[in-house]
Structure 1
Amino acid sequence: MSRTPTGLELYDRTARDAAAAVISGYSTSFGLACRLLGPRPRPHVRNIYALVRVADEVVDGPAADAGLSPDREREVLDALERETSAAIERGFSANLIVHAFAGTARECGIGEDLIAPFFASMRTDIDTARHDARSHDAYVYGSAEVVGLMCLQAFVNAGAARPAPASPELVEGARRLGAAFQDVNFLRDLDDDAGRLGRDYLGGAVEGSRRVEVLDRIDADLAVAAAAIPRLPADCRRAVSTAHDLFAELSRRLRRTSTRQRRVRVPDPVKAAIAARAVITSRPRRSIR
């Protein structure tokens, strides 16, 4: 007979289930990739995504829709960061999403060097409407590259007796993949970011040669990431290859569209084909265009 968990074990499982519900509700592409992870890293990546998504929602509309002013949004975000750091130190939080993330951080070695830049970028969304090249790079590091590094810590350390740092090649690949994801989403969401949120992440008009420049940067980042994926643990490669190839496909489709067409997406049958290829090969496609 299977044993029914109780006490902290039940609380931990419930927190992980809450994190899984967040990724299921918010992201089809990331959710698809996550399902391809092995059982060792999968719950940890879900825990990371859930906290990142909750923090993002504080500054991307739902909090404002609930009537919060920018100052109150900052208060909520600051409180979430404090609770995250405290939960990692004490091993418990009354916030299920924070509790799930804290367990992952403790097991996988995710520290303030990654958490602080992430929350700093989230705060940037409250008071910075237009970015130049320097602030874009700082924002992308905190909002996307460190998230890739958090996931990398889970890939390398989930289930280990003691967390260890990843190799420099894997660190560079994780950062470049996160940057590519973020810039793809900036291009996909140009009109929504400008119209609904009043934000410009790419520093002015992104048309003609400027648009090609951004897409070339994305493809260069994807190429570096692709070279690192074979160095990942085997139970992570299919998922990361799928995520890589989904965004490579988005990059290709963005090259064929104008900035004013509706949001570019990958049709479900194409997503399925990309995932199937990754399952068979465990490697990303090398050709980006």
Structure 2
Amino acid sequence: MADRAAAQVIAQYSTSFSLATKVLAPGVRRDIRNFYAVVRIADEIVDGAAQQAYADPETLLNAYEEQVLQAPNQRFHTDPVLHAWANTYRRCRLNAEHLEAFFASMRADLNPHAFSPAELETYIYGSAEVIGLMCLDIFFPERQTPHPEKLQRGARALGAAFQRINFLRDFGEDQGSLGRAYFGRMLDDDTKHAITTTIHTELDQALETIPLLPRGVRGGVAAAEALFRELTEIAERTPAAQLTQQRISVPQRRKVALTAKAIARTGL
């Protein structure tokens, strides 16, 4: 029941990521979903759900961080998502420092401002690169990894690329509704081009490491990479002024086709 509850979180919030996880090996799929559920809940706290309930988001985020960090020390939780997460944390021996970096980035979102380049890189590390590193720990729970440093660079690059394209996709909402300016207050076509160039470089770096992953993982990671690369290409074709007003997306039929192609390419 706990694993099913966590799976419902990802199904509700991310069609692209949910689709990619469906082609992971069953045990890996379960642990990725359990992990993603707590990440998504933390993100929801800072994105306005707490304020809509007239609660203080910082207080709730701090409390939730404590619950997530302490959950692995207990064998049973009345909260099914925390119960599922605790099982995954113990099974995959995840790193508490990665979690702390993630929550630090979530906390930065509670103080909306225009990020400096250094602040942005720190934010991306905590909000995305450590997510890639924790996924890697789930893929290799016994830590018997070929070329560990290359895999870690690839995992961080993929997480960073996903975050940057999410920034472009959500630019209007982030700035208009939430007051956040990850790339500055204005987005022009030159800035957009520089961002998408960085995204492609990071995706290319990540793509090189997919053959090093376990066979039951490659298709899911390749599918996620393909879906976000497609979203990047849509952003490239969309004028910057339009991106600030309209949220872009990949059509569902195209997502299915890209996923099938990624699976075929990785030999699954």
Please state which band the TM-score falls in when normalised by the shorter chain: over 0.9
1:152 aligns to 2:136 (yes or no): yes
**2:110 maps to amino acid:** I
| Runs of 5+ consecutive residues of structure 1 not aligned to the other structure | 1-13, 284-289
| Post-superposition CA distance 1:107-150 (Å, at most 9, x none) | 11112121100111111111132211011111111111111111
| Post-superposition CA distance 1:26-66 (Å, at most 9, x none) | 11100000101011201000011100000000000111111
**2:202 maps to amino acid:** D
**What is the RMSD computed on CA atoms of the aligned residues?**
1.4
Q: Conserved in 1, the CA contact under 8 Å of 2:50 and 2:60? A: no
Paired residue for 2:102, among 105, 115, 118? Answer: 118
- Report deviation, 1:67: 1.3
**2:183 maps to amino acid:** L
Moved over 4 A (4+): 163-166
> For residue 25 of structure 1, what is the aligned residue in structure 2?
12
Paired residue for 2:3, among 7, 16, 23? Answer: 16
> For residue 57 of structure 2, what is the aligned residue in structure 1?
73
Q: How does 1:1-289 map to 2 (within 5 A)?
A: 14-68=1-55, 72-157=56-141, 160=142, 163=143, 167-261=148-242, 262-282=246-266
2:197 partner SS = helix
Larger Rg: 1
Q: Conserved in 1, the CA contact under 8 Å of 2:112 and 2:179? A: no
| Runs of 5+ consecutive residues of structure 2 not aligned to the other structure | none
| Post-superposition CA distance 1:213-253 (Å, at most 9, x none) | 11111010000000011100000000000000111111111
Identity %: 41
Distance in 1 (CA, whole Å) between partners of 2:62 and 2:169 is 29
Distance in 2 (CA, whole Å) between partners of 1:256 and 1:61 is 30
Distance in 1 (CA, whole Å) between partners of 2:44 and 2:15 is 17
Distance in 2 (CA, whole Å) between partners of 1:172 and 1:183 is 16
Report the count of equivalent residues: 263
1:41 partner SS = helix
> For residue 8 of structure 1, what is the aligned residue in structure 2?
none
